[in-house]
Each structure stands twice: as C-alpha cells, then as structure tokens.
Amino acid sequence: MSGMRLILSNIRYAWLRNALLVLSILIAYLLFGALSAFERAYSTSGDTGAGRIITANKISFTQPMPISHFRTMQSVGGVDASSHATWFGGYYREPANRLHTIAVEPHSYLAVYGSDLELSEEEKSSFLSGQGSVLVGAQMAARFGWQVGDQLPIINQQIMRTDGANTWIFTIAGIVSGTAAYVDTSFLYIHYDLLNEARTSDKDTIGWIVTKPASGIDAGALAGDIDRVFATSPDRTTTDSERSFAQTFVAQFGDLALVTMLILAAAFLSLLMIVASTTALAIQQRVREIGILKALGFSHKRVLVLLMGESLIVTLIAGTLGLVLAGYFVRVSANSLVSIAPGISVSAEIAAIGVVSMIVLAIVASAVPAWRAVNATTSTVLRRG
C-alpha cells in the first residue's frame, strides 16, 4: 500500500476527530485571510502615490483652523495646488444613515483631486456653478438609489443654520467614480461657502488643507516649511502625508491595526495548541499501528513522513478552504469598508503567506509527538498498544 493511501485511510478512520480539527483550522484561516486583508488595506489607505500632504491643527485634526491659514499657504514656495476641506457629516432621513459629507472649495479641490475622480464636464460645470449643489460618490449613490438631479436633504444636529433649521437641502449635480480601487466613493462634497454663510458658529474656519507639491519638490521638506510658517501662530499646524492623515482619522475609532494583529496572534496561538494536542492524541491512539509498521520493515523515516504527512494534508485542506471563504466574505463586504480599507482583498501574497504558515504549523505541531513515537522501540509501542 502506498504512503498516500495509508494517510488517507487514517484520515477516514478518525473522521470525527479530523472533521473537528478541519473546522478549527478553517475558522482560524478565515480570520487570518480576512484580518490580513483588512490590515493591508488599512495600512495603505490614503497612499495614492500622488504625494499630497495634509495640514491640520496641531492640537488635533478635529480642531478648526482660521481660513486665513489657507490664504497664507498660497505664498509658500513649492506648492503646485492646494485646497481646503471641512467636515460636515450629517445623516439622511434616519440617524443610522450617517453620511461622509465634506465641505470643500470646489474649484481648487477638483484641481487637487481631479486625477482621482471620474466626472463628466457637464456634471463638473453643474457642481461649480451652484452653491446648493453636491457631488455624490458612486458607492453612496448606489447605497441610497440617488440620481443626478435628485433633491437631497441632509440633517445635521451639530451644525445649526442661522434660520434655526437643522436640515440642509442640496441638489445632486453629479455622481463621481474613482479612477482606482483606493479612491473612496462613499462621500458627498458640498460647497464650503454655503456652509460658512449659513452656519451659526465657527465661521471663517476650516478643517484641513490639502497640498499637492510642485514637480521636483520633496513632500517632507515642504511639510516642514508649511509648519514653520505657522510656528508663531495661535493656531499652529502639523503637516503630514495624506496616508498618515487618513490613518489618524480612522484611529479615533481605536488602533485597528494593533487590534487586528492581536486577534491574529491569539488565533494562531490557539490553533497551534489545538493542532499539536490533536496530533499527539492521534499518534498516542495509534501506537500499535506504528509498531506493526515498524515490525513490517517500514523505516523510521518513512513512518515519520506518514505521521507528519497526515497532519500536513489535513492542515492544507482546512486552511485553503478558510482562505477561500475569507476571499468571498472580503469581496462581499468590500463596499462597506471602502472608507477605511479601500481596495481590500485577499491578495496572492496573503494566500502565499497563509500556505507557508500552514506547512510550518503542521510540521511544528506534529514533529515532536511523531519523533517520539518513531524512535520508541518496536516492542515498547506494541506493548503500549
């Protein structure tokens, strides 16, 4: 009988134990695939390669800055284009329908982000010409079934209008798609001037400034120049890459990367103990079979390969199924995660790391009990059996 037939026969013989082991490994690699995909996408969020930098209040990015900071920025050398943005938020119909709404200066903002956004000239012109117009990301439009020309009421309990109302009415001028997977289209862009004129507080303040360095200008050096300009201002600034700013924004909900890595570490430690204990138990229950194989002339090396091969096959089958399920769930939930983990997917690199870890896991978990069983004398293992 071939080695593979012996391994498959042993797997079928202890089908219940192996089924439970397969389920444990499958769940662990489902977590591994999904959490690794999230961690990779989250860690690269905002890393568009455009070299843009973000200037915010040094105290906290949630603290506003005077709009005069933006005007001062125009005199800083090395700036190709810059714009400003302010968080608006709000919700649609019900508080559960939270909106990612940002108030921007339309002309300069489209100049800075034009390479990331797919927008027709007609939609662009419509947005630029009307203060009451709004640009809607394709994902957000699909979520609520919005179309160009629809009236869009946004309710905001934190930002009150001068007329006492808390409902802001806009007209959808265009629906924007991203030019790449990393571009977030779960947003709405409204006119800053409309917000600034109608709100009762924080007038003439902005949330952050986005800057595109001129060709040949180092983004890090430009960031330092910008912060030095405002070093003596009551509202000092901190300037960093767009990627770092995006991660700082998400970090207000917790250190997601750290939590992800801790979950992965806990899952794999538990998995290692499960596989090791199950393998040790399986070998202990088959000591008589091992003794018979050795008595029939099977070499130590061949018996060791059979024992470790069984663990390897079970781990590879279960782990691969887990990665496949992780890929499916990540693909299904990608749209809902685009704002914090754009372009999320179980990549070939993650799959390769997963397969290598399966092999290492199976070898480490089975090596010690298999080695002990193989090196025991034939008479000893037959007496135990």
- Tens digit of pLDDT per residue, the chain (385 long)? 455 565 555 656 666 777 878 888 888 888 888 888 877 776 665 554 457 899 999 888 788 999 999 999 888 888 888 999 999 999 999 998 989 899 999 999 998 988 888 989 999 999 999 889 999 999 889 889 999 999 999 999 888 888 888 999 999 999 998 887 667 788 899 999 999 999 988 999 999 999 999 888 888 889 999 999 999 999 999 998 777 676 665 555 445 566 767 777 777 777 767 777 777 776 666 666 666 565 555 666 666 667 777 788 888 989 999 999 999 998 887 766 665 666 778 888 999 999 998 888 888 777 777 776 666 555 555 555 4
Q: What is the DSSP string of 167-231?
A: EEEEEEEEEEEESSTTS--S-EEEEHHHHHHHBSSSTTEESEEEEEEPTT--HHHHHHHHHHHTT
Give 65's strand partners.
206
Q: Report the C-alpha gap between 89 and 236 in whole angstroms.
A: 25
Identity at 375, one-letter amino acid code: N
Q: State residue 204's pLDDT score.
A: 93
Q: State residue 265's pLDDT score.
A: 76
Q: State residue 9's pLDDT score.
A: 58
Q: State residue 152's pLDDT score.
A: 95
Q: Report the C-alpha gap between 25 and 289 in whole angstroms.
A: 26
Q: State residue 61's pLDDT score.
A: 73
What token pair was written down for 351? 């799959």
Q: State residue 372's pLDDT score.
A: 67
Q: State residue 331's pLDDT score.
A: 85
Q: Report the C-alpha gap between 52 and 242 in whole angstroms.
A: 6
Q: Report the C-alpha gap between 218 and 224 in whole angstroms.
A: 10
Buried b (16+ CB within 10 A) or exposed e, 62-91: eebbebebbeebeeeebbebbbbbbbbebe
Q: State residue 246's pLDDT score.
A: 65
Q: State residue 64's pLDDT score.
A: 92
What token pair was written down for 109? 């903002």
**How far out from the chain centre does Cα 153 lie?**
30
What token pair was written down for 72? 């001062």
Buried b (16+ CB within 10 A) or exposed e, 112-134: bbeebbebeeebbebbeeeeebb
- Beta-strand relationship, 79-87 and 208-213: antiparallel
Q: State residue 193's pLDDT score.
A: 94
Q: Report the C-alpha gap between 43 and 50 in whole angstroms.
A: 16
Q: CA quadruple 179, 180, 181, 187: dihedral positive or negative?
A: negative
Q: Decide: pTM greater than 0.85.
A: no
Q: Report the C-alpha gap between 177 and 107 in whole angstroms.
A: 18
Q: State residue 65's pLDDT score.
A: 94
Q: Which residue has the tokens 């202890």?
A: 14
Give 367's strand partners.
none
